[in-house]
């Protein structure tokens, strides 16, 4: 079955292939059309009712497809006026940046989208040395199938490193090495999802991609409000959250608002987990990067039987390595290990051995330290540049930490769309707050600046461009 | 809730943790008890009725746990006499060899279990050279998040290599690089499983671990008989198989029987797929290793829109790399890519770049060629050694290919258990046919010899030991 949307003024051909499901086919058609520009930014889509009638689908199928694409950031719903193509597609996809960057004309000139570190600082020579050394020392069994938890060399190195640097209570047998943080979250969601009706609470705003990772494991997601003390874990004890079996928190540095979880909120979370047999999933994605003081230790350290701690090298070394880890409560070791085993047996071993060598030789610490200095001065530069606007309509929010900052856009100021248009014209890409809300209707807008992403040489120019765009917009209004 | 099994003469303590599910808790307790020897080989378990009553569980829960462990090879059901611990645990776990091999006293002295190549032949120097070269040439974007399908360098190299060596009709955009073959199968099963009630037919006998990978994606598995022409794909057109949406075949060299899929059976499979919109999953796990002639091209080459082709470096380079690939029909690209994206974004990039370099520089071909020579002479040696028994009760089956051979054990000869006991006493580990049947009741027994596994220096002694064990057993009977 196929359908042309010319009737809606949209030149869109949808093949509703029965094999992969109608909802999925509709999603794919829309996704591709948005990607390749057939559906341009700000295009208004037909109402779910009209499209359902035209395609002979259930209205629920169309709604579900729209919701999916809203979650993924392709579409946006505006109260009372329908569903639109966001035009933020490249920007929104960025935190999960799973797009082909290998082709020509890969990205924007000035990339201030959050999600990646400065990949030009990857320590290639140190990595190669570590690989060579690790392979020279590895037992032959390291080349064979291995433990689903990962190499013992890496788990031993991580247990000590995480204890020292992040205050994590870890022993090698509680650690499962994963192929990045996304897989770690997916494995946990899969285990939680075995209990029928179980839900996972996730921060609102938060990373839309992670919500979809959870949903793909047949687990419903509940929005957990974030305020200036971080996630409102106090709400977990209310009746609305009865079906919640786990909560995902970015405790050290909330993504994207940049606030740390208040000590009282930490206690409440642990208390909830203890009294309700709940699980706290602590996503410590950038815990190494705090610029004003020593980072606060992981929540896991105080409640190791209540917290599944999730870490990654994506922000310290680079996302391409796809190396992450879980530190698990006793009761979750077996189910997570089994899930990992049946997913991909184990994470590849050579990278694990190289990372273990990098950590035990302290080359990893040195690299993190030098990144920290660099990112701190980048954030200082950003703050300095934005101050002239601060008195007007723009405020830089969050603590000095991590690789991103949130700039508030009050209702009276320029909108995300204004910034997008002005930025795109100058080759500037940014992150936007609206794609992070569970439901963006009536929620504040804002810009998320990924100051870690550009190379050292590009960053000052990217910042000039951002400054120019914001100054023009704020002066004009 | 916890329970001691002393009442059944079993010293087994089961913690029925409600969080992870009762069935799962029971399975874990049994699995661990078998692994650490508390439940010894040949121990008879309580009946499902008796155990259910004792633990206050539904009888179905206990049955399901037993079935699971039978599927995994921990237990075996003997008609009319109950359920027993197989005693083949280490042997059975081997094809998926996802056990900790890092500790001391890792394995048996002579390891003839199937599933791994000779890992001592891993080309460490060539791999390091390829890594260094690849990193020197890679664009900076290679260190960032990438395409869920994998690096374009590797997909381009694979498209050409697979066309040349395996007759696969591949273009880079149809290839998805996966973290090993297990993940590839899991992704496909997940996509098939989106259609409610969809089933996957799998060869009987076949790899039990793969059946469990499919089941974990909420897809029922149907047994597809294997005879001396390979999988009985003719049965797919019968009414029993109506709900089957995909069939997994090891077409070049059936695992474990070692027969190739007969041309007529290939045609029937393609015809079924075309007429029923079915999918053939071609698991080409050892297609490079044929010793008497040029390998037969992949089934995929003749039916690219009907076949998802699955390959891996696990048998050519080594399982530790966790690198595999799918070549997909057009209609499956989008759903598989999306599944991969939400599972782990993409497979790590550095290993992909190294493999791409290894393939394009032809170092991969050279390595495969030298392995082929070595494995061929190993198989010849095995055949020569077994011939004296052949007239008696043992027959070597299957074509000269791959890294394993199946030795028939007729009902009148020694049993798997006899071989296990005699082998274990001499430090010899083997694979056994019984763990490969969907339901081992009344099915033939046999030995699966993994002649690729030992190092070059150990192999002759391992073979002497096998020979000695079999000779003693066949003479005695």
pLDDT in tens, B227-282: 999 999 999 999 999 999 999 999 999 999 999 999 999 999 999 999 999 999 99
Residue A209 Cα, gap to closest chain B Cα (Å): 8
Question: Which two three-digit tokens encode residue A198?
Answer: 């179980």
pLDDT computed for residue B72 by the predictor: 59
Q: What is the pLDDT of residues A6-60, one digit of tens each?
A: 434 344 445 554 445 777 778 777 877 776 666 777 777 888 888 887 777 888 8
pLDDT computed for residue A344 by the predictor: 98
Each domain of chain A, given as residue ranges in start order, spans 2-85, 110-114+368-476, 123-365
Interface-testing mutation among A144, A280, A352, with chain B (most B C-beta atoms within 10 A): A144
pLDDT computed for residue A90 by the predictor: 41
Q: Among candidates B451, B445, B369, B434, which has minimal Cα distance to B112?
A: B451
Give the β-pairing of B324-327 and B175-178: antiparallel
Minimal Cα distance from B99: which residue of A?
A: A147
pLDDT computed for residue B7 by the predictor: 38
Average pLDDT over residues A85-102: 43
Q: How confident is the model at residue A476 (pLDDT cuts 50, 70, 90)?
A: low
Question: Which two three-digit tokens encode residue A174?
Answer: 């509680």
pLDDT computed for residue B393 by the predictor: 59
- Chain A positions touching B69 (Cβ under 8 A) are none
Residue B8 has pLDDT above 80, yes or no: no
From the candidate CATH numbers 3.40.50.300, 3.40.640.10, 3.40.50.720, 3.30.360.10, the one assigned to the domain spanning B123-365:
3.40.640.10
User: Is A186 in contact with B335 (Cβ distance < 8 A)?
Assistant: no
Q: Are A153 and A137 in contact (CB under 8 A)?
A: no
Residue A200 Cα, gap to closest chain B Cα (Å): 14
Burial status of residue A230 (CB atoms within 10 A of its CB: 0-12, 13-18, 19 or more)? buried
Q: Who has greater pLDDT, A17 or A92?
A: A17
Minimal Cα distance from B214: which residue of A?
A: A342
The region of weakest confidence among A136-140, A322-326, B68-72 is B68-72
Q: pLDDT exceeding 90 applies to what percent of chain A? A: 69
Average pLDDT over residues B383-392: 70
pLDDT computed for residue A221 by the predictor: 98
Residue B409 Cα, gap to closest chain A Cα (Å): 29
- Chain B positions touching A21 (Cβ under 8 A) are 194-195
Residue A434 has pLDDT above 50, yes or no: yes
- B110-114+368-476 adopts what CATH topology? 3.90.1150
Interface-testing mutation among B14, B19, B333, with chain A (most A C-beta atoms within 10 A): B19
Average pLDDT over residues A444-450: 95
Q: What is the pLDDT of residues B120-131, one digit of tens each?
A: 999 999 999 999
CATH number 1.10.10.10 is the correct assignment for the domain at B2-85 = yes
What are residue A18's phi and psi, to 5 degrees?
-70, -25
Inter-CA distances, B75 with A143, A351, A457, B11, Å: 29, 36, 62, 17
CA distance B230 to B263: 10
pLDDT computed for residue A107 by the predictor: 78
User: Is A119 in contact with B143 (Cβ distance < 8 A)?
Assistant: yes
Q: Is the dihedral of CA B385, B387, B392, B396 positive or negative?
A: positive
Q: Among candidates B448, B453, B371, B404, which has minimal Cα distance to B111?
A: B453
Average pLDDT over residues A411-437: 93
User: Is B144 in contact with A179 (Cβ distance < 8 A)?
Assistant: no
Scanning the structure block, which residue is given the tokens 């060869």? B203
User: Is A152 in contact with B100 (Cβ distance < 8 A)?
Assistant: yes
User: Is A195 in contact with B19 (Cβ distance < 8 A)?
Assistant: yes
């Amino acid at each position: 079955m196929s359908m042309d949307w010319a009737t809606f003024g949209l030149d869109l051909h949808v093949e509703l292939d029965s094999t992969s499901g109608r909802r999925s086919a509709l999603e794919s058609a829309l996704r591709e059309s948005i990607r390749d520009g057939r559906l341009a930014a700000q295009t208004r889509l037909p109402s779910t009712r009209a499209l359902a009638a035209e395609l002979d689908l259930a209205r629920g199928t169309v709604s579900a497809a729209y919701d999916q694409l809203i979650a993924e950031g392709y579409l946006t719903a505006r109260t009372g006026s329908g569903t639109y193509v966001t035009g933020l597609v490249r920007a929104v996809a960025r935190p999960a940046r799973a797009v082909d960057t290998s082709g020509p004309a890969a990205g924007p000139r000035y990339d201030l989208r959050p999600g990646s570190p400065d990949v030009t600082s990857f320590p290639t020579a140190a990595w190669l040395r570590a690989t060579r050394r690790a392979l020279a020392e590895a037992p032959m069994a390291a080349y064979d199938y291995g433990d689903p938890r990962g190499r013992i060399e890496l788990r031993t190195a991580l247990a000590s490193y995480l204890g020292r640097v992040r205050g994590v209570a870890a022993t090698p047998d509680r650690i499962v090495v994963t192929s990045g943080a996304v897989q770690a979250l997916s494995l946990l969601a899969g285990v939680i999802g075995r209990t029928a009706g179980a839900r996972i609470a996730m921060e609102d705003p938060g990373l839309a991609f992670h919500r979809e990772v959870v949903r793909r494991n047949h687990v419903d997601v509940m929005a957990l409000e974030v305020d200036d003390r971080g996630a409102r874990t106090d709400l977990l004890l209310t009746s609305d959250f009865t079906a919640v079996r786990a909560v995902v928190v970015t405790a050290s540095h909330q993504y994207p608002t940049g606030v740390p979880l208040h000590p009282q909120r930490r206690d409440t979370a642990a208390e909830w987990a203890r009294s309700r047999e709940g699980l706290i999933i602590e996503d410590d994605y950038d815990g190494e990067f705090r610029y004003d003081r020593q980072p606060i230790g992981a929540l896991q350290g105080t409640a190791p039987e209540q917290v599944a701690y999730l870490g990654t090298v994506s922000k310290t070394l680079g996302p391409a390595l796809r190396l992450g880890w879980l530190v698990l409560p006793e009761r979750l070791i077996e189910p997570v290990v089994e899930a990992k085993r049946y997913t991909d047996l184990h994470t590849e071993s050579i990278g694990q051995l190289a990372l273990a060598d990098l950590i035990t030789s302290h080359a990893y610490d040195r690299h993190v330290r030098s990144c920290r200095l660099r990112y701190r001065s980048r954030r200082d530069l950003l703050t300095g540049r934005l101050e002239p606007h601060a008195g007007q309509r723009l405020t830089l929010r969050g603590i000095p930490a991590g690789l991103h900052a949130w700039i508030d856009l009050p209702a009276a100021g320029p909108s995300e769309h204004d910034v997008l248009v002005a930025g795109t014209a100058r080759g500037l890409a940014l992150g936007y707050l609206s794609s992070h809300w569970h439901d963006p209707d009536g929620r504040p807008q804002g810009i998320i600046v990924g100051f870690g992403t550009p190379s050292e040489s590009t960053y000052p120019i990217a910042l000039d461009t951002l400054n120019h765009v914001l100054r023009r917009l704020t002066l004009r209004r």
